[in-house]
Structure 1
Amino acid sequence: MTISMTTLEAETGGAPSVGVAPPAPRQGVWHHLLRNRGAVLALSYIALVALLAVAAPLVVKLSGWGPYEFDQSAIDPNLGGLPIGPLGGISAEHWFGVEPGTGRDLFARIVYGARTSMLIAIAATTLTTLLGVLFGLLAGYHGGKVDQVVSRVMDFLMAFPALIFMIAILSALPASNRAPLLVLVISVFGWPYLARVVRGQTMTLTQREFVEAARASGASGWRIVLLEILPNLRSTIIVMTTLAVPGYIGTEAGLSFLGVGVVPPTPSWGQMIAQSMSWYAVDPVYFLLPGTFLFLLVLSFTVLGDRLKDVVDAGERR
């Protein structure tokens, strides 16, 4: 059961303790977010990219070109494959121009790149959240040897330079089915950060009177964790999860940029940025378009996470 404000006031003499106040009602969170212009813009862009990712086949069909189709007539072989026309070959036929050297439609590849980035980031965030919450609850509630083992594993993983080890691990793994491997590797190095926060708050909540009352009534450990403790961690988990998504989007793009992420010809924004490095002097559009989409998506999730954190913190203070 989530702690009610009345219960908290009765237990603390009228002032709720910091860190165990109930999360703001869902309607209240959305109400405050939608009153903030930055949060509305961030949500709008995230919704746009999500829509492009979900409806990628339909969107690309409307544009007339698939992400793997070559249009040799759109590039000039005498100039090393440079797109014909201004701004990287932007035209009514190719809305964002074409890839230098191949003639593949840039709009189609950006749309499918959005699907790649969103799927990997959301899958990694989901797995990371499940692992972080599970191990954080185990360590915080049981304490003792369980806490020592989980804490040492967290310290071990957090001590690693994660990016270097991700590159080393992915370089040694087969290139086929790289997306699931990316999700797994990112999650293995990502879950301790959430688990550490969940562990600390769980240890605080286990000392509260409502948990002691549940124990006295004969409730099992899992029942106490699921019905008494977890609901009071909801706000923390939501905020940290939202703030983790841009990091995982950037990690996927960075690994693809370095050549150990998504394998060509599967479109990826990081991979496109890497390929544009040899063309940016003569075709800067090829670099700017995927770079702008990536930057705005990371920025939008970061702004949304910050605004959500502000709303939750304000609710807890109240």
Structure 2
Amino acid sequence: MTLSSTGPTAPAVSEPGTAATTSDPRRHVVRALLRDPVAVACLGYIALIVLMAVFAPLIVRVSGWDPYEFDQSAIDPDLGGMPAGSWGGISGSHWLGVEPGSGRDVFARIVYGARSSMLIAFGATLLTTVLGMVFGLLAGYFGGRIDMLISRVMEFLMAFPALIFMIAVLSVLPADDRQYLLVMVISLFGWPYLARIVRGQTMSLKEREFVEAARASGASRTAIVFTEILPNLRSTILVMVTMAVPGYIGTEAGLSFLGVGLVPPTPSWGQMISSSVNWYAVVPTYFLVPGTFLALLVLSFMVLGDHIRTAAEPGGRS
């Protein structure tokens, strides 16, 4: 379980005007991804989960079951609440079976669990990206005491035992608005990883000739940062964002598995995996269904991020 990804190497930064004289580098990346069947498959699965999250109310209405609705007829009380029928109660009524002990529809909870995971992962990624860009640009461009202060904060947060802190804090915080609390707590420990890379590339870019030329022409510091430096960090930020999302999905699932993330009855894939521990020996489908959805989503984001990184590198474009 990771808070963010630090493995990928930032894509090389090209001089402004180079792409303009050849072609838009973003088109190169898109073309490279669309020509790769693995990347297309990953994009398709991610799009499927996102659509599932967005249209969750409509989807469960079609399926006929609410994620909080109990179906006592789908479980066998004489067998301790095990799903009636084979394969965890999979049937025409319950497409992915039912939850042991309660009879809640697994498909409906998977759909709403996707909404919870996407909301937290994308929310944390957005906040992490904003904080990482702002502090990375400040530290890298201005240097001096500002750089020293921000760097010390980043080092402290990166060295701090984040998981222990999350468990301790979330276990005492109220259950209300837990999704927003998770976004803030995860982002608190996630932004230094992006900020460190942005800082390093900003320090390199501010010494380039095109920045010196803008400075000599009288451009303000704000204009230099936003019109000269930031556009050259887009590939780096895109790759880091793509690699951060699966880390945050896994973090939310792990915290929910430990009982300090989303609290029942809010659907969560991690929570479903946690509750399946007592049943997987006799109802393995209840563990396999959310586990498969979670594993494929994390894998898709990681593989896609790796393909984007390769396509964004000058030598990897085609």
1:233–1:315 CA distance, 2 compared to 1 (3 A)? farther
The correspondence of residues 122-201 of structure 1 with structure 2, limited to 5 A, is 122-201=122-201
| Post-superposition offset of 1:7 | 9.9
**1:96 maps to 2:100:** no
Equivalent position of 2:259 in the other structure:
259
In the TM superposition, what whole-angstrom CA distance separates every residue of 1:147-182 from its partner, at most 9, and x where no partner exists? 000000000100112111111111121111100000
Q: Percent identity?
A: 69
Shift of 1:316: 7.5
The equivalences for 1:202-213 within 5 A come to 202-213=202-213
Over 3 Å counting, the alpha-carbon distance change for 1:316 and 1:44 in structure 2 is closer
For each residue in 1:93-118, what CA deviation from the matched residue of structure 2 results, as whole angstroms up to 9, or x when unmatched?
00001000000000000000000001
Asked whether the 8 Å contact 1:46–1:300 carries over to 2, the reply is yes
- 2:311, 2:317 within 8 Å by CA — same for their partners in 1? no
Aligned to 1:57: 57
TM-score, scaled to structure 1: 0.93
Distance 1:202 1:316, change over 3 A: farther
Please give the alpha-carbon distance, in whole angstroms, between the structure 1 residues aligned to 2:102 and 2:199: 51
Does the 8 Å CA contact 2:109/2:267 hold for their aligned counterparts? Answer: yes
Paired residue for 1:312?
312
Q: Which amino acid aligns with 1:193?
A: Y
Question: For residue 81 of structure 1, what is the aligned residue in structure 2?
Answer: 81
Local SS of the residue matching 2:87: coil
SS at match of 1:88: helix
**Relative to 1, partners in 2 of residues 1:6 and 1:179: Cα closer, same or farther, differing over 3 Å?**
closer
What amino acid maps onto 2:133 in structure 1?
Answer: V
Aligned to 1:26: 26
- Please report how far the alpha carbon of residue 66 of structure 1 lies from its aligned counterpart in structure 2 after TM superposition: 0.6
Deviations 1:247-291 (A, max 9, x none): 000000000000000011000000000000000011000000000
Secondary structure of the corresponding residue to residue 211 of structure 1 = helix
Alpha-carbon distance in structure 1 between the residues aligned to 2:33 and 2:20: 28
Letter in 2 for 1:246: P
Report the counterpart of residue 235 of structure 1 in structure 2.
235
Distance, in Å, in 2 between the alignment partners of 1:155 and 1:189 is 11
Structure 2 alignment gaps of length 5 or more = 1-13
1:23–1:316 CA contact under 8 A, matched in 2: no
Alpha-carbon separation, structure 1, partners of 2:68 and 2:315: 49
Task: Report what 2:7 is aligned to.
Answer: none
16, 20, 25: which one pairs with 1:3? Answer: 16
Distance (whole Å) between structure 1 residues aligned to residue 94 and residue 16 of structure 2: 57
In the aligned structure 1, how far is the partner of 2:149 from the partner of 2:29?
37
Counterpart of 1:57, as a letter, is P
Partner of 1:44: 44
Give the corresponding residue for 1:19. Answer: none
Tell me if the contact between 1:23 and 1:232 (Cα under 8 Å) persists in the aligned partners.
Answer: no
Which TM-score applies when normalising by structure 2?
A: 0.93
Instruction: Write out the 4+ residue segments of structure 1 that deviate beyond 3 Å after TM superposition.
Output: 314-318
Alpha-carbon offset, residue 220 of structure 1:
1.0
Q: In 1, are the aligned partners of 2:138 and 2:147 still within 8 Å (CA)? A: yes
Contact 1:120 1:179 in 2 (8 A): yes
1:156 to 1:6, Cα distance in 2 relative to 1, 3 A: closer
CA separation of 1:316 and 1:219: change in aligned 2, threshold 3 A: farther
SS in 1 for 2:89: coil
CA distance in 2, matches of 1:33, 1:228: 27
Following superposition, the deviation at residue 6 of structure 1 comes to: 8.5
Structure 2 distance, partners of 1:309, 1:109, is 34
How many Å separate the matches in 1 of 2:131 and 2:189? Answer: 11
For 1:45 and 1:108, locate their aligned partners in 2 and report how far apart those are by CA, in whole Å.
Answer: 18
SS in 2 for 1:193: helix
Cα distance in 2 for partners of 1:23, 1:73 equals: 62
Aligned length, in residue pairs = 305
Matches within 5 A, 1:102-117: 102-117=102-117
